[in-house]
Structure 1
């Protein structure tokens, strides 16, 4: 695994900056053979030469320059968080210790963390204890109900995940240099994106990058945002929030969507004049409170001085909505683009009632300091292109 030894990565950067094994050894307080061995191991992990060795010194190859760029970003992030806890930690903390810290922080239990990592519980406990000993302070608050990370520990766990994600991106880019598709793209997709534009985007991307692994992660906005901020997701696609929920993410508008009211083809309201008072008396399927769709649905009634309908089932599943509309008189309020395929196939019908002020921005959300790989940039460009064509 590239960057499995953080000390090797630090030695690599010392050689990259000085062009000298001797100088790097002095800076890192190790022997010259240790520097040579560290570089050899990194090159074996990268499966590419990282330096051109000449009589004038060591010079970065294209692969070396790529690793230097990504590695510096990873170490700068990590060292900042480690220094916040104790100045000694950047010199002593290992990747294995940090992985144990991340797993324990998330599981809040040593046994569960060990199971997640696939190692023995004493190994996890020992790794965390070593970090605490070097830090000179407790990183977890222990109680009868488990262990809770301190604020500094939780921040370190999040930054460490981001740092390791940066090194994973280096692996992907090194693979690109030799025509190997390695690594993966992870996308957090909200309900609309799963029907538009992602099917077309994925089909096109597969033509250009047929073997690169892609994971589409579904969940609530808050869940996906948390995964994005700790580096588990590369970007989100779906309804944007106004304002942006936190300063460390960027929102990029790609297209606009509006809401429609849907019913089964047998519904009597398809053939009579509609008013909000009539709609308030119906049975509804709508998304949960706090989502943009639900906020606009609620505002439709509140703006007219009406209470919300008494009969509401909360769900984000378009399939459930469609099936219930087919067998009952329930109505739903959903994204027009999300329901367009079902509308075109005449599985549902649009009620002749325009949802007021329902236009909303749909787009990409990603970390402010994120630097996408060529593959990640490609799939984002496919999203922009497919959205422009649909409009």
Structure 2
């Protein structure tokens, strides 16, 4: 976000709420010239007028309205967490201090936090000291290996990260008024999404938003979920969990996927119809890791059958393809992921004469997430591609 001054942002909201510089200055206990200077700086930073000035008062422009919406969302996250520690922090805490606090909470070490923020260690230490002085209490417990945050400090750090993400979203919203792309879209991609859902959607998105930065993060579900909940990731695309893992995320189902068993083209089971579980159990396997929806279905399918020891756990279709092509291993993978490999003749599908239950595939995002225009556009492209997968 162009402006990193929390006080200026609060003054902007005060003017938007009251419509008067005098009322805003009285509410914030600052001089009217200070309010005027703050609004002027914000308008320069954000590339245009935030208010229409009339004899009746100050009224937000469309640009100003977009900023109001994002700031309200940010401060609705941040202020209760600040007040839970000390009401004074709402008045005194700065963006830089809160950045330092969040980094120390995550790293549990001032030196590591300073490196992450590319700041000098004394700068981060001073920020934490000033916050604790204003709060009138310790925010961290000093231990031999570093600093451990209190429960309230941990909650504040999470609120800081989500509020800062709203500030980033505000930058993207305001850039739309100037026909610019700003910020970046961060997608957490589970295996199926990486090979069968995201590529075409991203190509289509790039054709209409060539300047928009997009980051695709590969990872395990639990890691991606943590990133989603702290604001580092905007949306996770892939297999949904039943039930939802926690109450502050929303799962949007797009289609059902069904598992497929694959093998190398020269495997002895290729071409047989209705291969039994007993026949399948005689061969080594490459399967998704434990705890994933696909693995749960695989385990249920072979519930009463002894499988060979030494199962290889892997979620990558590329790794699975190479293993089954070079051996008598069988692979169990998403049907959508396997489709391209089978259609190109790289692997073969084994007919097991059974119908696998559907696995819900879709989007996972924060319950309170308000996507930017660019994010909404990409989501619609993903949804449209999912319609083709379901049909």
TM-score between both structures, scaled by the size of structure 1: 0.97
Does 2:272 correspond to 1:287?
no
Aligned partner of 1:116 in structure 2 is 116
In the TM superposition, what is the alpha-carbon distance from 1:306 to its structure 2 partner? 2.3
In the TM superposition, what is the alpha-carbon distance from 1:128 to its structure 2 partner? 1.1
Aligned partner of 2:53 in structure 1 is 53
In the TM superposition, what is the alpha-carbon distance from 1:47 to its structure 2 partner? 1.0
Summarize the alignment of residues 93-172 of structure 1 with structure 2, pairs less than 5 Å apart: 93-172=93-172
CA–CA distance in structure 2, aligned partners of residues 365 and 272 of structure 1: 39
Summarize the alignment of residues 273-352 of structure 1 with structure 2, pairs less than 5 Å apart: 274-302=275-303, 305-352=304-351
Q: Is the 8 A contact 2:272 2:350 kept in 1?
A: no
SS in 1 for 2:182: coil
Does 2:198 correspond to 1:198?
yes
Tell me the alpha carbon deviations over residues 320-355 of structure 1, each in whole angstroms, 9 at most, x when there is no partner.
Answer: 111111111111100000111111101011011156
CA–CA distance in structure 2, aligned partners of residues 355 and 136 of structure 1: 66
In the TM superposition, what is the alpha-carbon distance from 1:143 to its structure 2 partner? 1.3
Stretch deviating more after TM superposition (269-278 or 47-56): 269-278
For the aligned residue pairs, the C-alpha RMSD in angstroms reads: 1.3
Aligned partner of 2:388 in structure 1 is 389
SS in 1 for 2:311: strand
SS in 2 for 1:232: coil
Q: Is the 8 A contact 2:259 2:356 kept in 1?
A: no
CA–CA distance in structure 1, aligned partners of residues 378 and 225 of structure 2: 19
In the TM superposition, what is the alpha-carbon distance from 1:372 to its structure 2 partner? 0.9
SS in 1 for 2:270: helix
In the TM superposition, what is the alpha-carbon distance from 1:311 to its structure 2 partner? 2.6
CA–CA distance in structure 1, aligned partners of residues 337 and 324 of structure 2: 16
TM-score between both structures, scaled by the size of structure 2: 0.97
In the TM superposition, what is the alpha-carbon distance from 1:379 to its structure 2 partner? 0.7
CA–CA distance in structure 1, aligned partners of residues 176 and 97 of structure 2: 30
Tell me the alpha carbon deviations over residues 114-135 of structure 1, each in whole angstroms, 9 at most, x when there is no partner.
Answer: 0110000111111112112222
Does 2:366 correspond to 1:367?
yes
For structure 1, the residue ranges without an aligned partner over 5 or more in a row are: none
Does 2:248 correspond to 1:248?
yes
CA–CA distance in structure 1, aligned partners of residues 338 and 148 of structure 2: 43
Q: Is the 8 A contact 1:297 1:333 kept in 2?
A: yes
Aligned partner of 1:41 in structure 2 is 41
CA–CA distance in structure 2, aligned partners of residues 192 and 241 of structure 1: 14
Aligned partner of 2:87 in structure 1 is 87
In the TM superposition, what is the alpha-carbon distance from 1:280 to its structure 2 partner? 2.0
CA–CA distance in structure 1, aligned partners of residues 68 and 37 of structure 2: 18
Q: Is the 8 A contact 2:321 2:346 kept in 1?
A: yes
For structure 2, the residue ranges without an aligned partner over 5 or more in a row are: none
In the TM superposition, what is the alpha-carbon distance from 1:277 to its structure 2 partner? 2.0
SS in 1 for 2:368: coil
